[in-house]
Structure 1
Amino acid sequence: MNQKVGGRFWKTAQRGLLSCLRGLIRAILSLAAGIPLFVLSVVSIALIPVGVGLVLAPLALTGVRLFADLQRVWAAEWSGVPVPSPYRPLPARGPLRRLRGMLADPATWRDLLWTLLNAPVGLLLNLLPLAMVVYGLEGVVVASWLGQVAGYGWGPFWPLGDWGVVGVAGCLVLGALLTQAGLRWGPHILKGYALFVQSLLAPTRGALQERVRRLTETRADTVDASAAELRRIERDLHDGAQARLVALSMNIGLAEELMKQNPEAAQELLAEARAASGQALTELRDLVRGIHPPVLAERGLDGAVQALALSLPLPVDVRIDVPGRAEAPVESAAYFAVAEMLANVVKHSGAQRAWVQIEHDGDRLLMLVGDDGTGGADPGRGSGMRGIERRLAAFDGTMAVTSPPGGPTVVTMELPCALSSPRTSPS
């Protein structure tokens, strides 16, 4: 029994001391990082009209986001309070576009408000467990004995008159209770701070509702696109390979009947059957390639896009820097997006050359497809681009088309994703 009580005491003490250490780290960062970042952000935003802020503001706001993201991670890992990231996707290129995206994001201003309020609130809540423990230990270890030696008439907790047995006992008891309270309630106090972080740094109700609405729309678009894809596959099978296989079966049956009576006619039917089987096999391969190309599964997005570029009737410059493999659905969506854009280049652009650039910047896959054609591409006029836009939206992806009359055309597509495994060279 005593061992169980002792074990619980040491576990409580360990958790409490760990909370004190974590609170001290947070309190130091609240002052050392939070206040300078807030001041720098406000000053840099104010200096945007004179040009200096165009350089400083993105750096300062990025620092605020990194500081806020660190608090989100700590809130989840240390206190079990999840704080999802509320930021909107930023353009991958162009410092002015990224700055405009930051300033238009409501989460940026909530970050700044949190940084300002975090200085007093974070300092108070994060230092409170450590202060309780230190002050309690001071009452137990230092204050009572110091009172005995110096002859003070006041204890650290309340006036006890002349120091004696009662005063010493009071200091010891109250100090022990305060120390125990700090150790026991330290994790709960830090959880209260994590809830404060969640209240300002988590997505708002409006943002969550917008997210739900967006997911509902993309899910409906995905279901419609999947149904249309299934109908296309059924139609291609019925009108193509299935019809050829039926004709192949009939020709083989006729050849069996004519084998004895008219061998030459039977040989002609068998030759037709062989040709029909080759065509049916080709159509089946094309159908499978349209569902999920085998080269994509074997060689990844890099090899599949390289093979696709070699099959086109115009030169395509391909540059890919993706040091890993994305999940299969994301990789498939990226491949078919690039394939559709290149198909549009061949069919409609009148281009002499095209280029594809794919890279991964840490949390998203960036794909750019361009050509030197006549321009004037409009996503609203063609079903192909709209279909790709819906397909990317199912993964929170985006597509932007820049195609002035006379060209060039550049299609920028982004897919949020993480790389699950390192890229391997094809054998």
Structure 2
Amino acid sequence: MSAGAGVGIRDRGIAALRGLALVPTMVPALALFCLTVTFLPLMVIGIGVLVLPVLITATRGLADFSRRRAEAWTGVHIARPYRPAPKFDRGIPGVVQRTRWMLGDPATWRDLLWSLADLAVGLALAILPLGFIAQGVFGLLQPFLWETLIDAGDSGWYTFLKVDSAGMAVLAVPLGLAYIVFGFFIAPYMLRAHALFTRSLLAPTRKAEMELRVRHLTDTRSEAVDASAAELRRIERDLHDGAQARLVAMGMNLGAAEALLETNPEAARALLTETREASAKALNELRDLVRGIHPPVLADRGLGDAVRALGLESPLHVEVSVDLPGRLEAPVESAGYFAVNEVLTNAAKHAQARNVWVDVRYRAGRLRIEVTDDGRGGAALDKGTGLRGIERRLGTFDGTLALDSPRGGPTTVTMELPCVLSSPKTSPS
């Protein structure tokens, strides 16, 4: 939910209740802060070394939950700032290394600062709307409560009104209504303000973003080089085992046919027929090889028609929806094409699916491809179904892959690639 105009009273009420729901995470966050500060000096006697990794991991888990909650409730994305963990030794030396690595990460200290500050700043932002609403309800009840409160010794002040008569109690009603309206009005803004406050402490700093970016580029560059080397080895293997072997056999057959042409024309004719069939097979293999490198339909008609062709070739019933206002960059089209091809292959081989829906669209500088099947679900990135390879391929272009595959299905694979349109649309969609 985003703050602003157009938010209904129901959404504002939900925002107010969500503000109250922020409070339960603040108490364990403060407890983890206190425990961490307590055990830090105990590192000198070894106890802190054993306990601190557990406390910091718990704090990170709570911070990750707050990041996900902020995005789900307000749309404020908060990236994880933590440095990737290196390999640690076994035993006590590994525990010491892990503790030093965690304490050496600036994000750890920002998490601790957040766990302390969230109880003060976050609590005020979270419960402020409900405070106004509660105060407003109290104002609505003044005509019924003022005498009882005065008899009990209350001063009679309701904010800036001194309610000591029936007339003043009636005046408190519209003021209470105003407080309620104001509380509902500010609820989504306060919820978003809390998310922005959370992002200010839990998001990566500019320096950390640069470090993560450099590390990501280094990893994707290495993966791209490895993928290119593997692709070259595949092409070389396919040429050696396929077309090259047939061409060698054809040359031998032609030599034998030439030797038999005078003495045994029938045998020579049979060898020539066999050679012609071998040449057709070699040509088909070369075409398949070229299609595996860059399909002609992709080069000629673009990603939309190429994905439709994949749907027609699939043994499953595939419905394709395309909304591309123009041609994409060739490398992006190729990455998207082979990603869809791999996902469709997985659906046919592993998912026991019958129907697949593919949605390809371009929005706000990103190519978004969503593939949904009605299979058994239970897919995972680490099960060796090729999804991790797709993720690496997309990562080369700063793309992302998201998998939603509960057991029993359906499975939805969402892929996004940042890109620009390189030419107007040349094919129907």
Aligned AA (2:62): F
Aligned AA (1:56): V
Aligned match of 1:46: 41
Does the CA-based 8 Å contact 2:70-2:77 persist in structure 1?
yes
C-alpha displacement of 1:229: 4.8
Q: Under a length normalisation based on structure 1, what TM-score does the superposition of the two structures give? A: 0.57
Q: Under a length normalisation based on structure 2, what TM-score does the superposition of the two structures give? A: 0.57
CA distance in 2: counterparts of 1:161 and 1:68, whole angstroms: 46
Deviations 1:347-398 (A, max 9, x none): xxxxxxxxxxxxxxxxxxxxxxxxxxxxxxxxxxxxxxxxxxxx9x9699xx
C-alpha displacement of 1:102: 1.6
1:86 aligned counterpart, secondary structure: coil
Does the CA-based 8 Å contact 1:110-1:200 persist in structure 2?
yes
Alignment of structure 1 residues 92-241 onto 2, 5 Å: 94=90, 96=95, 97-141=97-141, 143-148=142-147, 150=150, 154-160=156-162, 162-165=164-167, 167-229=168-230, 231-232=232-233, 241=242
Q: 1:25 to 1:92 in 2, by over 3 A?
A: farther
CA distance in 1: counterparts of 2:109 and 2:206, whole angstroms: 16
Aligned match of 2:69: 74
Aligned match of 2:421: none
CA distance in 2: counterparts of 1:59 and 1:220, whole angstroms: 34
Aligned match of 2:331: none
CA distance in 2: counterparts of 1:255 and 1:187, whole angstroms: 85
Aligned match of 2:304: none
Does the CA-based 8 Å contact 2:381-2:388 persist in structure 1?
no
C-alpha displacement of 1:74: 1.4
Aligned match of 2:298: none
Which runs of 5 or more residues in structure 2 are unaligned?
Answer: 1-5, 294-337, 351-379, 408-429
Deviations 1:152-174 (A, max 9, x none): 77431224475242x12321011
Aligned match of 1:348: none
Aligned match of 2:383: 325
Q: Which moved more, 1:36-45 or 1:223-232?
A: 223-232
1:47 aligned counterpart, secondary structure: helix
1:21 aligned counterpart, secondary structure: helix
CA distance in 1: counterparts of 2:20 and 2:226, whole angstroms: 53
CA distance in 2: counterparts of 1:242 and 1:252, whole angstroms: 15
2:22 aligned counterpart, secondary structure: helix
Deviations 1:17-36 (A, max 9, x none): 433332223224313x1221
Cα root mean square deviation, aligned: 4.6
Aligned match of 2:18: 22
CA distance in 1: counterparts of 2:195 and 2:138, whole angstroms: 28
Does the CA-based 8 Å contact 1:125-1:193 persist in structure 2?
yes
Does the alignment pair 1:36 with 2:38? no
Deviations 1:147-206 (A, max 9, x none): 2454777431224475242x1232101111101111221121111111110111111211
Which structure has more helix as a fraction of its residues?
1
Alignment of structure 1 residues 387-426 onto 2, 5 Å: none
Q: 1:235 to 1:18 in 2, by over 3 A?
A: closer
Aligned AA (1:106): P
Alignment of structure 1 residues 320-399 onto 2, 5 Å: 325-326=383-384, 328=386, 330=388
CA distance in 1: counterparts of 2:85 and 2:43, whole angstroms: 19
Does the CA-based 8 Å contact 2:221-2:396 persist in structure 1?
no
1:75 aligned counterpart, secondary structure: helix
C-alpha displacement of 1:208: 1.6
1:252 aligned counterpart, secondary structure: helix
Aligned residues: 304
Deviations 1:314-364 (A, max 9, x none): xxxxxxxx9962451525999xxxxxxxxxxxxxxxxxxxxxxxxxxxxxx
Aligned AA (1:186): A
Aligned AA (1:191): R
Does the CA-based 8 Å contact 1:129-1:182 persist in structure 2?
yes
Does the CA-based 8 Å contact 1:147-1:153 persist in structure 2?
no
CA distance in 2: counterparts of 1:176 and 1:120, whole angstroms: 28
CA distance in 2: counterparts of 1:161 and 1:333, whole angstroms: 66
CA distance in 2: counterparts of 1:210 and 1:237, whole angstroms: 40
Aligned AA (1:110): R
Aligned AA (1:192): A
Aligned AA (1:109): W
Does the alignment pair 1:86 with 2:85? no
Does the CA-based 8 Å contact 2:136-2:179 persist in structure 1?
yes
Does the CA-based 8 Å contact 1:44-1:53 persist in structure 2?
yes
2:83 aligned counterpart, secondary structure: coil
C-alpha displacement of 1:230: 5.1
Q: 1:421 to 1:100 in 2, by over 3 A?
A: farther
